[in-house]
Amino acid sequence: MANQDTPQQEEAFTSLESIGEFNLIEKLTRDFPLRQGSSLVGIGDDAAVLDFNLEQTVITTDMLVEGVHFDFTYVPPRHLGYKAVVVNLSDVYAMNARPTQITVSMAVSNRFGVEFLEEIYAGIRLACEAYDVDLVGGDTTSSYSGLVLSVTALGVADEESIVHRKGAKPTDLLVVSGDVGGAYLGLQVLEREKAVFMGNKEMQPQLQGNEYVLQRQLRPEARKDIIELLQGLEVRPTAMIDLSDGLSSEILHLSKHSGVGFRLMEEKIPIDPTVYKLCEEFSLNTTTIALSGGEDYELLFTLDVKDHDKIKGNPNLSVIGYATDLAEGNNLLTRDNQIIELKARGWNAFKEDTTP
In DSSP notation, 316-331 reads TEEEEEEEEEGGG-EE
User: How many residues lie near a second copy (CB under 8 A)?
Assistant: 104
Rounded CA separation 269/31 (Å): 39
Work out whether 161 is an interface residue with a second copy (CB under 8 A): no
Cβ(174)–Cβ(320) under 8 Å?
yes
Give the one residue of 212, 233, 349, 356 binding a second copy; rule: CB under 8 A: 349
Among the listed ranges 148-156, 165-173, 179-187, 300-308, the one in contact with a second copy (CB under 8 A) is: 148-156
Work out whether 159 is an interface residue with a second copy (CB under 8 A): no
**Burial letters 62-94, b for 16+ CB under 10 A, else e:** bebebeebbeeebbebbbbbbbbbbbbbbbbbb
Among the listed ranges 34-42, 175-183, 220-228, 253-261, the one in contact with a second copy (CB under 8 A) is: 34-42
Cβ(75)–Cβ(155) under 8 Å?
no
**Nearest distance in Å: CB 255, a second copy:** 22
Residues 40-99 that bind a second copy (CB under 8 A): 41-43, 47-48, 50, 52-55, 57, 59-63, 65, 67-69, 73-79
Q: Which of 33, 112, 100 has the alpha carbon at shortest distance from 72?
A: 112
Residue type at 81 in one-letter notation: G
> Which spans in the chain are helix H?
16-19, 21-29, 77-93, 114-131, 182-199, 211-218, 224-232, 247-258, 273-281, 286-292, 308-311
**Nearest distance in Å: CB 37, a second copy:** 9
CB 327: neighbour CB atoms within 10 A?
A: 7
Q: Which of 305, 341, 63, 347 has the alpha carbon at shortest distance from 356?
A: 347
- Map residues 173-212 to x or -, x wherever contact with a second copy holds by CB under 8 A: -----------------x--xx--x------xx-------
Work out whether 17 is an interface residue with a second copy (CB under 8 A): yes
**Nearest distance in Å: CB 281, a second copy:** 19
Give the one residue of 95, 97, 107, 241 binding a second copy; rule: CB under 8 A: 107
Work out whether 141 is an interface residue with a second copy (CB under 8 A): yes
Give the one residue of 119, 272, 304, 328 binding a second copy; rule: CB under 8 A: 119
**Between 147 and 247, whose beta carbon lies closer to a second copy?**
147
